[in-house]
A and B are shown apart, each in its own frame.
Chain A
Amino acid sequence: MTEPGIRHLWRSLSIEGRVVHALLMREILTRYGRHNIGFLWLFVEPMMFTLGVTAIWTLLRSIHGSSLPIAAFALSGYSTVLLWRNMPSRCIGAIGPNLSLTYHSNVKLIDVFLARLLLEAGGATISFVVLSIVFIAVGLIDPPEDVLQVAWAWFMTAWFGFSLGLLLGTLSEDHEIIEKLWHPASYLLFPLSGAAFLVDSLPKAAQEWVLYLPMVHGVEAVREGYFGSAVRAHYDLGYMAAINMSMLILAMAQLRKISRTVVPQ
Chain B
Amino acid sequence: MIQLSNVSKYYATRNGQTKIFEHVNLMVAPGEKIGILGRNGAGKSTMVRLISGAEQPTSGIVKRKMSVSWPLAFGGAFQGALTGLDNLRFICRIYGVDAEDKIQFVEEFSELGIYLREPVHTYSSGMRARLAFALSMVVEFDCFLIDEIVAVGDARFTDKCHHELFEKRADRAMIIVSHNPSYVREHCDRAVVLSGGGLHHFDDLQGAYDFYSAHYK
Contact = CB atoms under 8 A, between A and B. Distances in A.
B82 interface: yes
B64 interface: yes
Contacts of B91: 104
A106 B92 CA distance: 12
Interface stretch (B25-33, B52-60, B171-179, B205-213): B52-60
Interface residues of A, number: 26
| Interface range for B | 20 to 34
Interface in B1-55: 11-12, 49, 52-55
B93 interface: yes
B111 interface: no
Contacts of B58: 260
A137 B76 CA distance: 49
A102 B90 contact: no
Given A101-B77, A103-B70, A29 B56 contact: no
B183 interface: no
A105 B77 contact: no
Contacts of B86: 26, 29
B81 A263 contact: no
B170 to A, nearest CB: 23
B49 A104 contact: no
Contacts of B71: 103
Contact of B53 (A25, A26, A30, A102): A102
A18 B93 contact: yes
Which of B12, B64, B77, B86 counts the most chain A CB atoms within 10 A?
A: B77
B79 interface: yes
B164 to A, nearest CB: 20
A147 B59 CA distance: 51
A38 interface: no
B77 A104 contact: yes
B76 A103 contact: yes
B192 interface: no
Nearest to A106: B94
A237 interface: no
Contacts of A102: 53-55
Interface in A77-109: 100-107
A265 interface: yes
Interface string A247-265: 0000000000001111111
Contacts of B79: 26, 29-30
B93 A263 contact: no
Contacts of A19: 93-94
Nearest to B89: A25
B109 to A, nearest CB: 20
30 contacts: A19-B94, A22-B94, A25-B93, A26-B79, A26-B82, A26-B86, A29-B79, A29-B82, A29-B86, A30-B81, A100-B54, A100-B77, A102-B53, A102-B54, A103-B49, A103-B52, A103-B70, A103-B74, A104-B70, A104-B91, A104-B94, A105-B54, A105-B64, A105-B68, A260-B58, A262-B55, A263-B49, A264-B49, A264-B55, A265-B76
The 4 closest A-B pairs by CB, nearest first: A22-B93, A105-B53, A103-B70, A100-B76
Interface of B: 11-12, 49, 52-56, 58, 64-65, 67-68, 70-71, 74, 76-77, 79, 81-82, 86, 89-91, 93-96
